[in-house]
Amino acid sequence: MSIMVNIELRGCSEDELIKICKEIGLKRFRAIQLFQWVQQKAVRTWEEMKNIGERDRQTLRSRLSLYPLEKVREQRSKDGTRKYLFRLEDSETIECVLMDYARTSSRDRHTVCVSTQVGCAVGCAFCATGLEGFRRNLSVGEIVGQVLDITHLVRQEDPDFQVTNIVFMGMGEPLLNYDQVLQAIQLLNQAQGLNIGMRRMTISTCGVVPQIIQLAKDNPQVGLAVSLHASQDEVRNKLIPMNRRYPLTQLMEACQEYTQITHRRITFEVALTAENAKREEAEALAKLLKGQFGYVNLIPVNPVAGTGMERPKPELIRRFAQVLEDAGISVSSREERGADIDAACGQLRRQWEG
C-alpha cells in the first residue's frame, strides 16, 4: 500500500499536478484546470473551482492541501501602498506589501514585496524583522500564496488587477531559503499562472556570497539587489552581521562574477541614516563600487522603534548622491512608500505580536 502524502497545492507546478492527477487516476486536463484556478484565478477554496466536479474534488483533496493565508491586518497608505499581515497555517505571521502605482503615475505596474522566512537569522541592526530572530523558512506555496492572496484581495475591488513585479525584499533573507525561492519564481513565471516575467522579479540579499554565484548560474534572468549599506567592513559588520562571514572583498568579487555571467546590472541598496549620510562614506562607497556593473539605490530609513536609527535630512541625501554621481556611479533614490503606515519590514508584525 502506498503512503499518501499531502502536498501543498499552491506550491505545485502544472507538471507536478499533471503527475499527481495521473497517479490518482484523473485526466491531464483536470490538472490544467486546477493549476489555472489556483495560480491564475487566485481562488482560495475548492468550492470555487466550478468546472471540477465534486467527486474529482474529493479525490484531489486526498492528495493536495489548500491553505490560503489569512489576512489579519491591512494598512493603507495615502500613496497607494498597502501592507498586509498574513497568518500562516501554524499561526506564524508574515508581512507583505503591495506598492500600488495605480494611485500615482503608471496604471500598469503593481509590485508586491514578499517575505521568504518567518523572522530572520541575519539580525541587521536597522531591521525590525532581525530583532525577532529566525523562526522558520516559508514553503513554496507560502511564498507564492502571498502574491495569490493579494491578487485575490485586490480583485474584489478591481477585477482586472494583475501583479506585474515581485521583489523578494520582505521578511527574511531569500538566499538562505534558496530552493524554495527559486521554485516560487518558476511558479510565478508560468504562462498558465500569474505569468510574471523573470526580469520583473528581483531578489534582494544582504550578501550570501555562494548563493549569489549559484543564482547567476541557476537563473540569470532574475534581478539582484544587494543590501550594501556601508563600504567598510568595520561599519558593515555592525549593521549586517553576515558581513563577518562574507566580507566586502568577497562580496564585490561575487558581484563581478554575477554580472559576468548574467550581464545584468546589480542594484546596490544603501540605507541612509543620520549617522552614515556623510561625504566620506559616499567617497568610500564610490571607491568600493568602481568597476561594478550596477547602480546605487539610496533609501532614507523610516525610523524603527528599538533600532535607534534616524532619518537623514534631505540636503545630506542630495549631497551623498552628488558625490556618487561625480564618481560616475548612477544613483536612484527609492521613492518613499508607505511612510504613514508601518512600511519598514517587520514593523507591523512586531506591533501585532506586541
| Closest-CA residue to 245 (of 129, 254, 335) | 254
Q: Does 241 bind ligand SF4 (CB under 6 A)?
A: no
The one among 26, 42, 122, 272 contacting ligand SF4 by CB under 6 A:
122
The span from the CA of 146 to the CA of 71, in Å, is: 10
C-alpha cell at 272: 541612509
Instruction: Flag whether 120 is marked binding.
Output: yes
Stretch of 121-129, 249-257, 307-315, 335-343 contacting ligand SF4, by CB under 6 A: 121-129
Q: Does 124 bind ligand SF4 (CB under 6 A)?
A: yes
345 is catalytic: yes
Give the number of other CB atoms < 10 A from CB of residue 230: 21
Provide the minimum distance between the beta carbon of 270 and ligand SF4 in the complex, in angstroms, as a whole number.
13
Torsion, Cα 57 58 63 68, to 10 degrees, reads 60
Residues from 182 through 211 that contact ligand SF4 (CB under 6 A)? 206
The answer to whether 91 touches 353, Cβ cutoff 8 Å, is no
The span from the CA of 9 to the CA of 140, in Å, is: 10
Q: Does 181 bind ligand SF4 (CB under 6 A)?
A: no
The span from the CA of 3 to the CA of 6, in Å, is: 10
| Closest-CA residue to 247 (of 258, 260, 268, 231) | 231
- Identify which of residues 121 and 339 has a Cβ nearer to ligand SF4 in the complex: 121
Q: Does 243 bind ligand SF4 (CB under 6 A)?
A: no
The one among 71, 104, 123, 295 contacting ligand SF4 by CB under 6 A:
123
The one among 68, 141, 145, 172 contacting ligand SF4 by CB under 6 A:
172
DSSP percent split of the chain into helix, strand, coil, nearest 5: 40, 20, 40
Stretch of 43-51, 67-75, 118-126, 275-283 contacting ligand SF4, by CB under 6 A: 118-126
Provide the minimum distance between the beta carbon of 171 and ligand SF4 in the complex, in angstroms, as a whole number.
6
Residue 123, by phi and psi: left (phi above 0), alpha (psi -120 to 50) or beta? left
Provide the minimum distance between the beta carbon of 123 and ligand SF4 in the complex, in angstroms, as a whole number.
5
The answer to whether 200 touches 207, Cβ cutoff 8 Å, is no
The answer to whether 83 touches 348, Cβ cutoff 8 Å, is yes
Q: Does 343 bind ligand SF4 (CB under 6 A)?
A: no
From the annotation, which residues make up the binding site for [4Fe-4S] cluster?
120, 124, 127
The binding site for ligand SF4 (CB under 6 A) comprises 120, 122-124, 127, 129-130, 171-173, 206, 345
From the annotation, which residues make up the binding site?
120, 124, 127, 172-173, 204, 227-229, 302
